[in-house]
């Protein structure tokens, strides 16, 4: 269903997209690595369409809000300007989204890689064909992004008839993860030279687990620092402000103290707490 809408959008804005596409050639590689099944022209057509929709929706809303403070004609002019700027910003956010998606996918792949290599070691030590190594990863449901990378290799070999070395090189070019790319190219070099595949994966597993342990240690230090900051900002800070503002109110030195205290307690503090939780979740290894 969504693909049909993309086709219709491309028919409407494809000509514009083709004209501006030479300026956005850097997006092509990110589109491939992020598993977004669009051509550059289709993606730019979608970006143009969404930007125009946002601009059209913003104009009456901004006009309505500004009309309470300034004359309607001036409000319309400002609304057109602000909405146009908003539409341009949305378009350029679209152009940066594939790179952000590549980074996100790479992070998810690398989180599961140390544990998945253990499956590779077990498969390699059984003297089974090398493609079996990737079949073992494709059965791991906990890391769907890494599973998809393994399925890509399997499809190239069993579906398209490629030899394993060619499939490894092809997937190394497509994967968003540097660590997984190094593993694929390392496996290719080991197979080409007739080296010990089990020894290669064992060494890779040891290195990946050491890196994972270092990330855990770094994250623990970060959590310790964030905990101290949270206690200072969210517990000691509000208590100190409440006491100080109450004293000032008694002395007649401050107005609207209750409103300020309510805003801090019911707006600012929850926002800071959510921001802390979001950052910790994103930064977790």
Nearest to 33 by CA among 90, 117, 97: 97
Determine the pLDDT at residue 285.
62
Give, in order, the Cα–Cα distances in Å from 115 to each of 133, 153, 163.
14, 19, 26
Residue located via tokens 């921001």: 275
Domain boundaries defined on the chain: 2-105, 107-207, 212-283
CB 84 within 8 A of CB 51: no
Token duo for residue 4: 């049909």
pLDDT in tens, 102-136: 888 888 888 888 888 887 887 778 777 888 888 88
pLDDT at residue number 252: 61
pLDDT along the chain (285 residues), means of 10: 59 78 85 80 86 88 84 87 88 87 84 82 78 83 84 88 88 88 89 85 84 78 79 75 70 62 72 76 65
Rounded to an integer, what distance in angstroms lies between the CA atom of residue 266 and that of residue 122?
54
Long-range contacts of 161-164 (CB under 8 A, 24+ apart): 164/130, 164/131, 164/191
Quick count: other Cβ atoms within 10 Å of Cβ 30? 20
Task: Give me the pLDDT at residue 144, please.
Answer: 84
Q: Whose CA is closest to 145, among 33, 285, 40?
A: 33
pTM of the model: 0.66
pLDDT digits (tens, 9 = 90+) for 146-156: 888 888 889 98
CB 157 within 8 A of CB 163: yes
CA neighbor of 21 nearest in space, from 5, 42, 51: 42
């Amino acid at each position: 269903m969504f693909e049909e809408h993309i086709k219709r959008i491309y028919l409407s804005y494809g000509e514009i997209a083709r004209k501006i596409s030479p300026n956005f050639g850097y997006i092509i590689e990110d589109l491939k690595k992020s598993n977004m099944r669009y051509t550059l022209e289709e993606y730019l057509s979608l970006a143009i369409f969404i930007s125009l929709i946002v601009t059209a929706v913003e104009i009456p809303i901004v006009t309505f809000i500004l009309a309470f403070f300034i004359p309607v004609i001036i409000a319309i002019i400002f609304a057109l300007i602000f909405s146009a700027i908003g539409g341009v910003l949305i378009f350029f956010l679209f152009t940066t989204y594939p790179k952000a998606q590549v980074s996100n996918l790479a992070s998810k792949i690398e989180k599961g890689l140390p544990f998945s290599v253990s499956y590779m070691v077990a498969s390699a030590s059984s003297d089974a064909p090398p493609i079996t190594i990737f079949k073992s990863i494709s059965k791991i449901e906990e890391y769907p992004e890494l599973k998809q990378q393994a399925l890509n290799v399997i499809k190239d070999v069993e579906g398209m008839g490629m030899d394993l070395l060619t499939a490894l090189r092809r997937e190394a070019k497509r994967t968003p993860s540097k660590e997984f790319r190094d593993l694929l190219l390392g496996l290719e070099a080991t197979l080409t030279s007739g080296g010990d595949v089990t020894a290669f994966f064992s060494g890779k597993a040891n290195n990946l687990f050491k890196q994972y342990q270092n990330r855990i240690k770094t994250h623990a230090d970060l959590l310790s620092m964030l905990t101290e900051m949270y206690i200072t900002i969210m517990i000691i800070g509000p208590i100190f402000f409440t006491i100080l503002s109450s004293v000032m109110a008694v002395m007649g030195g401050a107005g609207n103290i209750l409103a300020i205290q309510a805003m801090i307690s019911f707006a600012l503090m929850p926002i800071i707490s959510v921001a802390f939780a979001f950052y910790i979740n994103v930064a977790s290894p």
